[in-house]
Amino acid sequence: MAHAMGSLWRRKAKNVALGGGLTFAVALVAAALFLSDALQAEAQRARGAMPDVTVEALVAGRPSTIPVASAEPFRAYPSVRSVVPRVWGYIFLPGALGNLTLVGTPSSAPALSEAHGELAGGRDLVAGAHEMIAGVGLTSLLGLKLGDQVGFPSRRPDASPLRLVGTFSSSVDLYTSDVVLCDEADARAILGLEEGQATDLAVWVTNPSESHVIATKITAKLPGSRVIEKQLLGRIYALTFGRRAGLVLAATVPALIALLVLAWDRASGLGPDEKREIGVLKAVGWSTTDVLNAKLLEAFLVSAMAASIGLALGYLWVFVLDAPGLRATLSGWSTLYPTVHLTPAVDLAELLALALAIVAPFVGLSIVPAWRAATMDPMEAMRG
């Protein structure tokens, strides 16, 4: 071990170049994995706050409004706990270059439900007072304070500006970051949604395992509608973020191959100093096995240190610096969402596999050059 450490220090320029390249590659791969896992975990938490079945009307293959009265037959289905016509939609903010989600709450129900979260500041809504509650991420981005009034763009003249009376937060940042809650009448006015129409129907069932049966019945009752099951969204999130992470990882493969080829080339070409060092070691009694072990230990130390530092840099890149330059590639959300702080969701088995995928090939490529060095004739090596 002492000889291997000393040998690495004596040839620190070469080892720093190889280790630095490996560190950068590991950091990029680790950051992509960290970010993908964190986004998938966030999406799964958001999925838990969604209804078991969501029903949307389609017109010419595109989502449209659905009559509120169409919810009545579904309430009589066995195991259906509740059916709620929802009023919500997207509003584009030119100043933020992104969309916010406006959600209308019925006057008969509290604005902040278990799905939305809890108050971080201010108070709840008062029906008919033209008030709103916004997510902490949105108010931070727009610089809003309690008492500020915001006029959202609308084509209806009866849309009133909304006064911010509270902010809310939740452990489900993906669900709450860009959300604005207001009275249902204000939401209809801003979104241009007529009375008797809803954006979709949210269906909650008593037994979630029966959601597919309920979805099948609803599809038969409303032909041409789009029925979305919550259980299927988990697969969609995993496929979406996994595919994007896979594209990033695939882009790093050529860089890793180039680094391993460079490592092979550098390990194969022994300089005069290294040859003399090996000759001296064998002349003083080192066996071929001792020299081989020392060379392999050098390769292991370089790759292990590069993998460790790369994993640490990847963690800092994603969870401390918020993944600049990489997050937009994987998340795909609007300007509002990237302000949310990511929660670590690290798979230790995944990290171990990544470390082995770097260390094992690097050490394996060093076996033949190390053997050639270990079997060198001592006198020839010392003569250079």
DSSP string covering 220-277, please? HHSTT-EEEEHHHHHHHHHHHHHHHHHHHHHHHHHHHHHHHHHHHHHHHS--HHHHHH
**Short-list 142, 153, 148, CA closest to 164:** 148
Q: Which residues of 198-237 are buried (b: 16+ CB within 10 A; e: fewer)?
A: bbbbbbbbeeeeebbebbebbeeebeebebbbbeebeeeb
Contact yes or no for 169/127 (Cβ under 8 A):
no
CA–CA gap between residue 247 and residue 32 (Å, rounded): 10
* Amino acid, single-letter form, for residue 45: R
State residue 106's pLDDT score: 81
- The span from the CA of 214 to the CA of 217, in Å, is 5
Mean of per-residue pLDDT scores for the chain = 79
The whole-number pLDDT of residue 114 equals: 42
Highest mean pLDDT (candidates 132-136, 335-339, 345-349): 132-136
DSSP-derived 3-state class of residue 323: coil
In this predicted structure, the answer to whether residue 125 has a pLDDT above a threshold of 90 is: no
Region of residue 285 (left: phi > 0; alpha: psi -120 to 50; beta: else): left
Mean pLDDT is highest, among 244-258, 289-303, 310-324, for 310-324
Phi, psi of 49 (to 5 degrees): -90, 0
Whole-model pTM above 0.75? Answer: no
Which segments within the chain are labelled E, that is strand?
53-59, 62-64, 66-67, 80-93, 98-105, 118-122, 131-135, 149-150, 162-169, 179-183, 197-198, 200-205, 226-229
Residue 292 pLDDT exceeds 60: yes
Q: CB under 8 Å to 14, separation ≥6 — which residues?
A: 266
Q: Is the pLDDT of residue 196 over 70?
A: yes
In this structure, are residues 278 and 370 in contact, taking their beta carbons and an 8 Å threshold?
no
Residue 60 has pLDDT above 50, yes or no: yes
Query: Is residue 112's pLDDT more than 60?
Result: no
| Alpha carbons 146 and 199: distance in angstroms, whole number | 29
Mean pLDDT in residue range 253-276: 66
Among 68-77, 98-107, 174-183, 185-194, the least confident range = 174-183
Q: What is the pLDDT of residue 4?
A: 61
Pull the structure tokens for residue 133.
């509650």
CA distance 73 to 297: 72
Which of the two residues, 231 and 340, has the higher pLDDT score? 231
Higher pLDDT: 273 or 128? It is: 128
Q: What is the pLDDT of residue 65?
A: 92
Distance CA 3, CA 10 (A): 10
Where along the chain do its domains lie? 2-45+235-383, 66-198
